[in-house]
Amino acid sequence: MTAPSPLLEVRDLVKHFPVRANPLAALWPAAIRRVVHAVDGVSFAIEAGETLGLVGESGCGKTTAGRLVLRAIEPTSGRIVFEGQDITALPPRGLLSFRGKVQIVFQDPYSSLNPRMTVGRMLAEPIRVHRIAEGAEVEARVRALLDMVGLSPEYFHRYPHELSGGQRQRVGIARALAAGPRLVVADEAVSALDVSVRAQILNLFVDLRERLGLAYLFVSHDLGVIRFVSHRVAVMYLGKLVEVSPTAELFKQPLHPYTQALLAAIPAVGDGATSIFDDTTRLLEGELPNPIDLPRGCRFASRCPHRMARCDEAEPDLREAAPGHAVACYLYA
């Protein structure tokens, strides 16, 4: 079997947001211009059918990275290659076919559906736009989509306000699938749902992946969710990837001190005898540094229990420390 190029490849992706949305700011020399370093040189690849979990806390840039992959926002620099084609600079007309192949599921089930459109119309729209079907066939396809996400056909004529959060999220997933994508970006897609509903939707994601051979970029702050749904995990901190690894290995042997702290801080169901919150030595101190004025060296150094002199001089590169397991940390370089 010839090694196929990855479905999606992202190289040195950068996104800087100006601090003040001031048209005059463009006149300042770049060195003085203050920017938020949302995504600062991120590279990864996703194979067809693979789920890459992108995890990190707020401000790490994972949501922005997801949006960049979709070209919902324009990168400041870097390349996005999808199915072997460089789509970074594709003009709007060329983007249409790309849009049919890469879709998104949003976090908030309440605001991601048009309140004035019936479910049927909402699902028919991508089908029509991408000419998947025409005329009477459109309705048949919509019903098939509803069935695929576990909604009975009567939901065709319902409005979003008649649906629960979990049902709305199913509609959102159906809409993402309508054009037959190969990659779906799930942007905190289950974070706003109740525990029992979350489990249903996660099961649905996994079932659909198996049925349709979908690849996912699963963005979430919840490591438990990431663990369940991802083949590989990429951990982000302040705009950079700090660790990338197959899922099982990341949770068994986290290498980066940040990943270790993250895992130590998760309140998992315990035995009730001891509490992770009583052993403060394993908990991270301090706050995130300012994403505008970043330190010169490793961005995690200020909170790292293993800080060395090297760490403040220059940023460590993401390097493979074990097969398939990459870390950006001088402890392993």
Partner 1 sequence: MAQPLGVGDRAFDPEGLGVPGPAAVAAAGSGARGGVRRWWRRFARNPGAVFGLAVFLGIVAMAVLAPVLAPHDPIAQGVGKPLERPSAAHWAGTDSFGRDIMSRIIYGARVALVVGLVAVLLAMVIGVTLGLISGYYGGIVDTVIMRIMDGLFAFPIIILAIAMMAVMGFGVRNVIIAVAVGFIAPFARVTRGDVLAVKEEPYIEAARLAGVGSVAIIFQHVLPNVLAPIIVQGALRVSGAIITESGLSFLGLGPPPPTPAWGRMIAEGQTFIVMAPHIATIPGIALMLAIVALNLLGDGLRDTLDPRMRR
Partner 2 sequence: MSGPAPGLEVKNLTVEFSSEDGPLRAVDEVSFHIQRGEIVGLVGESGAGKSLTSEAIMGLIRRPPGRIDGEVWFGGRDLLSLAEPELARIRGKDIAMIFQNPSASLNPVFRVGDQMLEAMALHLPEPRATLRERVVENLARVGISSPRARAHDYPHQFSGGMAQRVMIGMGVSCVPSLLIADEPTTALDVTIQAQVLALIRRLARELGVAVLLVSHDLGIISQMCHRVLVMYAGRVVEEASVATIFRAPAHPYTRGLIECLPRLDGNGRLGAIAGMMPGLRALPTGCRFHPRCPIAEPRCADESPVLRPLATGRAVACHLAGVS
Using CB under 8 A as the criterion, which residues of the chain lie in contact with partner 2 when the complex forms?
Answer: 57-58, 164, 166, 194-200, 202-203, 206, 221, 223-225, 227-228, 251, 261-273, 275-278, 280, 283-285, 287-288
Taking each helix axis from N to C end, the angle separating 119-129 and 92-101, rounded to the nearest 10 degrees, works out to 120
Contact 7, 48 (CB under 8 A): yes
Residue of the chain from 34, 85, 89, 161 that contacts partner 1 (CB under 8 A): 161
Contact between 68 and partner 1 per CB under 8 A: no
Residue 23 is encoded by which pair of tokens?
């048209």
Establish if 70 lies at the interface with partner 1 (CB under 8 A): yes
Name the residue nearer to partner 1 (CB basis): 186 or 223.
186
Residue 275 binds what, of partner 1, partner 2, none (CB under 5 to 8 Å, by partner type)?
partner 2
Which of partner 1, partner 2, none has residue 118 at its interface (CB below 5 to 8 Å by kind)?
Answer: partner 1
Task: Please report whether residue 147 would count as binding partner 1 according to CB under 8 A.
Answer: yes
Per-residue three-class SS string for 58-103: CCCCHHHHHHHHCCCCCCCEEEEEECCEECCCCCHHHHHHHHHHEE
The correct pick among 72, 89, 144, 292 for binding partner 1 (CB under 8 A) is: 72
Write down the least CB distance from residue 147 to partner 1, Å. Answer: 7
| Residues forming a β-bridge with 103 | 184
Smallest separation, CB 77 to partner 1 (Å): 22
Radius of gyration, CA atoms only, the chain: 21
β-pairing, 77-82 vs 215-220, is: unpaired
* Least Å from the CB of residue 62 to partner 2: 12
Residue 33, binding choice from partner 1, partner 2, none, Cβ under 5 to 8 Å by partner class: none
Contacts (CB under 8 A) with partner 1, residues 200-229: 200, 203, 207
Query: Exactly one of 103, 169, 245, 259 binds partner 1 (CB under 8 A); which one?
Result: 103
Distances (CA, A) of 147 to 210, 270, 283: 16, 38, 45
Give the chain's length: 333
For residue 234, the minimal CB distance to partner 2 (Å) is 16
Q: Is 144 in the site for partner 1 (CB under 8 A)?
A: no
Among 26, 19, 17, 8, residue whose Cα is nearest residue 75: 17
Convert 100-154 into a string of H (helix), E (strand) and C (coil).
Answer: HHEEEECCCCCCCCCCCCCHHHHHHHHHHHCCCCCCHHHHHHHHHHHHHCCCCHH
Among 12, 22, 84, 129, binds partner 1 (CB under 8 A): 129
Query: Which is closer to partner 2, CB of 148 or CB of 263?
Result: 263
Which residue from 269, 231, 235, 273 is spatially nearest to 255, judged by alpha carbons? 235
